[in-house]
Amino acid sequence: MRNSFSLEGHKALVTGANTGLGQAVAIGLAAAGAEVVCAARRAPDETLARIVEAGGTASALALDFADPMAASGVFAGAGFDVLVNNAGIIRRADAVDFSEEDWDAVMDVNLKALFFTTQAFARERLAKGAPGKVINIASLLSFQGGIRVPSYTAAKHGVVGITKLLANEWAAWGINVNAIAPGYIETSNTEALRADADRSRAIIERIPAGRWGRPEDIAGAAVFLASAAAGYIHGAVLNVDGGWLAR
């Protein structure tokens, strides 16, 4: 019987794969059978080691998405059929004090680079008449406003819009474009929140599942969206948030 969740024979590029969500997604895709290329600004040595130790196949690619066109030459002839756009940064300040520099830095990495990386991926797949899977990492702040993160909130709202637009344009050609919206996950980005006992308790009380998410919770969703099991899913945003948005 064919396993529709298997990624055997597929090749995936995961951006921001050195830590956190990107690392977990890369490990999850490799465990499902994909060859995974881990793209990051810093060497993803730990990610590679964990994949190889588990018997998977992975390699590294240095990409810094401070240049939104950094991946424009990556896909030609490389055989990628899965792309996970995870790389992202955040800048915090009150909206009244937020700088143009911080606005541009976040928008370049979190939205502009995502679009042009996906464009380069799709151009290669369309030229070959071949299917592909794109998974964008959105956020709870794709739906909510948050505080003190104006460019991050704007970019993550944009990720959902771009996901839907690209799905509309490419679905008929066999390219699935979807997104995952993680909730509060145990990563370095949330370390300060988790260290604040009052804030952490307030967050957990709002989450119906009663716990912080783990990076591997996102990995499972990514494996599903990258697999044949999700072949008729286009333009969807899968909330992996322990029920936060349903509260």
Q: Among 65, 75, 80, 152, which one carries the catalytic annotation? A: 152
Tell me whether residue 184 is one of the annotated catalytic residues: no
Question: What are the Cα distances from residue 50, in Å, to 29, 86, 109, 216?
Answer: 12, 19, 26, 13
**Using an 8 Å Cβ cutoff, are 139 and 88 in contact?**
no
**For residue 111, what are the contacts with CB-CB under 8 A and spacing of at least 6?**
154, 155, 158, 159, 162
Other beta carbons within 10 Å of 12: 26
Classify 159 as helix, strand or coil: helix
**Using an 8 Å Cβ cutoff, are 58 and 35 in contact?**
yes
Report the C-alpha gap between 120 and 112 in whole angstroms. 12
The structure tokens 């474009």 sit at 177
Tokens representing 184? 């509060």
Catalytic residues: 152
